[in-house]
């Protein structure tokens, strides 16, 4: 952080004024340090750096000035002690847990998690002897009973992908701490602007920076934010040595993304709320899920812990009585809708400036069994919409003409 900055600045100000370390050129926009390594002034300095007696840049797998700038800026926005950037969001998810879990340790996780997170747990954590218990995301009694037994870590997402279930972060934090566990929250859907899990009791927050932090669909990246004991301890040790480091180029793109994150996300969230209200009243929509809609099952909780409802709206299309929502006819209706959209591009990214439509059952959640999908509420009629920066009235008109084909 720039030493001369006044204290107690708000996140929108910190987003443009932290992480600035000007070179002798006094550049206005942050420099990009595309360098793998650093020169030592002398053999003695190299010796002292390797001995840990001085803290200087040594090798970009360990640290890089552009990456440091991104980490400082994200930590400031989050109000956290420390941040470590990673090559992707999945690297952040993986390291946030793998750096603290060992054979015989117990991990308690929500059932509703990002597809690759579940794949990582099932294919790797499981075979490494980590005991994993999955909990129904929105069932308070299930969290209570799962966390009546000691655990090392608890991992959740809120809101969840794609069904937008909202988990009670303060309650789960209390239960986690009583069980001796660290609570780690994947905050991608809510964003750092719409929800501050650390202020709600979470110990660490992970991001896929690929989503809203870039916000223009260019680069992959991730970050782990939390206490310096955790981030500068096991997290840093693992990333530095196993190599899930972010490239300085990607870090620079994301650093600049943080400057506009707040205005983008606020605009997108306002459009998402407006479209969700309109969609839930549309005859071709059976359910529109958005955390800040009064019809959302955890609406009060969402209003208490989120300052924005996020940039995604999840729909179930009304395909008609007697049509099996898990069958081919329902899928055909969803595909007709998606293929007719002109402003919503069919893709699986989210948080982009461009609006996106996704069919979870056949893409992001295709590895899940049909029963597993049904359990979390995903059917063939489910379509996830990521609301971009277009004019909301153009988006509404586009959705309206495509819904006519359902
Ligand atoms: C995209 C995403 C990830 C993974 O991020 P990548 O950058 O694609 O590796 C993790 N969690 C959630 C909720 C995501 O949306």
pTM, full prediction: 0.96
User: In terms of domains, do 110 and 174 share one?
Assistant: yes
How far apart CA 371 and CA 77 sit, in angstroms, is: 40
* pLDDT score at 6: 85
How far apart CA 64 and CA 32 sit, in angstroms, is: 10
- The answer, yes or no, to whether any atom of ligand 1 lies below 6 A from the CB of 186, is yes
* pLDDT score at 4: 77
* pLDDT score at 5: 83
Give the mean model confidence (pLDDT) for residues 284-296.
97
For residue 4, is it within any domain? no
Measured N-to-C along each axis, helices 392-403 and 248-280 cross at an angle, to the nearest 10 degrees, of 60
User: In terms of domains, do 233 and 270 share one?
Assistant: no
How far apart CA 250 and CA 252 sit, in angstroms, is: 5
User: In terms of domains, do 290 and 151 share one?
Assistant: no
- The answer, yes or no, to whether any atom of ligand 1 lies below 6 A from the CB of 184, is no
Query: Residue 275: which CATH number?
Result: 3.90.1150.10
Residue of the CA atom closest to atom 2 of ligand 1: 208
For residue 193, is it within any domain? yes
Which domain does 349 fall in, by range? 262-403
**For 206-244, how does the pLDDT look when each residue is reduced to its tens digit (9 = 90+)?**
999 999 999 999 999 999 999 999 999 999 999 999 999
Cα 125 to ligand 1 centroid, rounded to whole Å: 18
Domain boundary among 211, 239, 257: 257
The residue among 360, 262, 184 whose CA lies nearest residue 15 is: 262
CA 159 from centroid of its chain's CA atoms: 10
User: In terms of domains, do 271 and 354 share one?
Assistant: yes
The pair of three-digit structure tokens given for residue 45, joined into one six-digit string = 């300095």
User: In terms of domains, do 158 and 22 share one?
Assistant: yes
- For residue 299, the tally of other CB atoms under 10 A from its CB is 16
**For 315-337, how does the pLDDT look when each residue is reduced to its tens digit (9 = 90+)?**
999 998 899 999 999 999 999 99
Residue of the CA atom closest to atom 6 of ligand 1: 89
Cα 190 to ligand 1 centroid, rounded to whole Å: 13
Atom index in ligand 1 nearest the CA of residue 350 equals 15
- The answer, yes or no, to whether any atom of ligand 1 lies below 6 A from the CB of 137, is no
User: In terms of domains, do 104 and 229 share one?
Assistant: yes
**In the predicted structure, residue 148 carries a pLDDT above the cut 60:** yes
**For 73-106, how does the pLDDT look when each residue is reduced to its tens digit (9 = 90+)?**
999 999 999 999 999 999 999 999 999 999 999 9
| SS3 track for the chain | CCCCCCCCCCHHHHHHHCCCCCCCCCCCCCCCCCCCECCCCCHHHHHHHHCCCCCCCCECCCCCHHHHHHHHHHHHHHCCCEEEEECCHHHHHHHHHHCCCCCCCEEEEECCCCHHHHHHHHHHHCCCCCEEEEECCCCHHHHHHHCCCCCCEEEEECCCCCCCCCCCHHHHHHHHHHCCCEEEEECCCCHHHHCCHHHHCCCEEEEECCCCCCCCCCCCCEEEEECHHHHHHHHHHHHHHHCCCCCHHHHHHHHHHHHHHHHHHHHHHHHHHHHHHHHHCCCCEEEEECCCCCCCCCHHHHHHHCCCCCCEEEEEECCCCCCCCCCHHHHHHHHHHHHHCCCCEECCCCCCCCCEEECHHHCCCCCCCHHHHHHHCCCCCEEEEECCCCCHHHHHHHHHHHHCCC
User: In terms of domains, do 228 and 332 share one?
Assistant: no
Residue with tokens 């056949």: 362
- The answer, yes or no, to whether any atom of ligand 1 lies below 6 A from the CB of 337, is no
Atom index in ligand 1 nearest the CA of residue 188 equals 13
Cα→Cα distances 273→48, 127, 270, 301, 404, Å: 55, 42, 5, 17, 21
Domain boundary among 257, 290, 319: 257
Banded model confidence at residue 1, pLDDT cuts 50, 70, 90: very low
* pLDDT score at 3: 60
User: In terms of domains, do 291 and 162 share one?
Assistant: no
Atom index in ligand 1 nearest the CA of residue 220 equals 7
Instruction: Among 95, 114, 166, say which to mutate for ligand 1: greatest number of ligand atoms within 8 Å of CB.
Output: 114
Give the mean model confidence (pLDDT) for residues 120-124.
96
User: In terms of domains, do 281 and 163 share one?
Assistant: no
- The answer, yes or no, to whether any atom of ligand 1 lies below 6 A from the CB of 310, is no
**In the predicted structure, residue 26 carries a pLDDT above the cut 50:** yes
Domain boundary among 192, 222, 257: 257
Cα 161 to ligand 1 centroid, rounded to whole Å: 10
**For 242-289, how does the pLDDT look when each residue is reduced to its tens digit (9 = 90+)?**
999 999 999 999 999 999 999 999 999 999 999 999 999 999 999 999
Task: Name, in order, each residue with C-beta under 8 angstroms of 358's C-beta and a sequence gap of 6 or more.
Answer: 162, 346, 347, 348, 350, 364, 383, 384, 385, 386
Mean pLDDT score across all residues of the chain: 96
Query: Residue 101: which CATH number?
Result: 3.40.640.10
- The answer, yes or no, to whether any atom of ligand 1 lies below 6 A from the CB of 341, is no
**For 43-54, how does the pLDDT look when each residue is reduced to its tens digit (9 = 90+)?**
999 999 999 999
Instruction: Among 211, 212, 223, 365, say which to mutate for ligand 1: greatest number of ligand atoms within 8 Å of CB.
Output: 211
User: In terms of domains, do 243 and 276 share one?
Assistant: no
Residue of the CA atom closest to atom 15 of ligand 1: 188
User: In terms of domains, do 253 and 275 share one?
Assistant: no
For residue 2, is it within any domain? no
User: In terms of domains, do 246 and 290 share one?
Assistant: no
What domain count does the chain have?
Answer: 2
Residue with tokens 């470590």: 84
**In the predicted structure, residue 357 carries a pLDDT above the cut 90:** yes
For residue 6, is it within any domain? no
* pLDDT score at 367: 85
Residue of the CA atom closest to atom 8 of ligand 1: 89
- The answer, yes or no, to whether any atom of ligand 1 lies below 6 A from the CB of 96, is no
52-59: long-range contacts, CB 8 A cutoff, minimum separation 24: none
């Amino acid at each position: 952080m720039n030493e001369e900055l006044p204290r107690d600045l708000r996140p929108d100000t910190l987003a443009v004024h932290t992480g600035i370390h000007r070179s002798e050129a006094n550049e206005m926009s942050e420099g990009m340090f595309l360098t793998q390594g650093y020169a030592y002034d002398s053999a003695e300095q190299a010796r002292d750096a390797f001995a840990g007696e001085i803290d200087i840049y040594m090798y970009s797998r360990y640290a890089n000035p552009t990456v440091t700038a991104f980490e400082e800026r994200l930590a400031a926005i989050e109000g956290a002690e420390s941040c470590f950037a990673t090559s992707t969001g999945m690297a952040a998810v993986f390291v946030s847990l793998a750096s603290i879990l060992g054979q015989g340790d117990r991990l308690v996780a929500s059932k509703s998690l990002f597809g690759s997170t579940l794949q990582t747990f099932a294919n790797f954590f499981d075979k490494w002897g980590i005991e994993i218990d999955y909990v129904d995301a929105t069932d308070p009694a299930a969290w209570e009973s799962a966390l009546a037994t000691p655990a090392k870590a608890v991992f959740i997402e809120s809101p969840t992908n794609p069904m937008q279930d909202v988990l009670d972060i303060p309650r789960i934090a209390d239960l986690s701490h009583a069980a001796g566990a660290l609570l780690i929250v994947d905050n991608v859907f809510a964003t750092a602007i719409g929800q501050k899990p650390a202020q709600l009791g979470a110990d660490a927050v992970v991001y896929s920076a690929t989503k809203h932090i870039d916000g223009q669909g260019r680069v992959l990246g991730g970050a782990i934010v939390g206490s310096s004991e955790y981030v500068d301890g096991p997290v840093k040790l693992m990333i530095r040595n196993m190599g899930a480091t972010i490239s300085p180029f990607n870090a620079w793109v994301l650093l600049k993304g943080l400057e506009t994150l707040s205005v983008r996300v606020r605009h997108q969230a306002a459009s998402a709320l407006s479209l969700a209200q309109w969609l839930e009243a549309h005859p071709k929509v059976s359910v529109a899920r958005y955390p800040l809609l009064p019809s959302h099952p955890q609406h009060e909780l969402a209003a208490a812990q989120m300052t924005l409802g996020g940039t995604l709206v999840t729909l179930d299309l009304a395909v008609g009585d007697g049509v099996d929502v898990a069958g081919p006819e329902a899928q055909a209706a969803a595909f007709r809708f998606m293929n007719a959209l002109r402003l919503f591009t069919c893709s699986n990214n989210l948080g982009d400036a461009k609006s996106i439509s996704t069919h979870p059952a056949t893409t992001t959640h295709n590895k899940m069994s049909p029963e597993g999908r049904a359990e979390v509420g995903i059917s063939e009629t489910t379509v996830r919409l990521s609301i971009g920066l277009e004019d909301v009235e153009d988006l509404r008109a586009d959705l309206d003409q495509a819904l006519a084909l359902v």
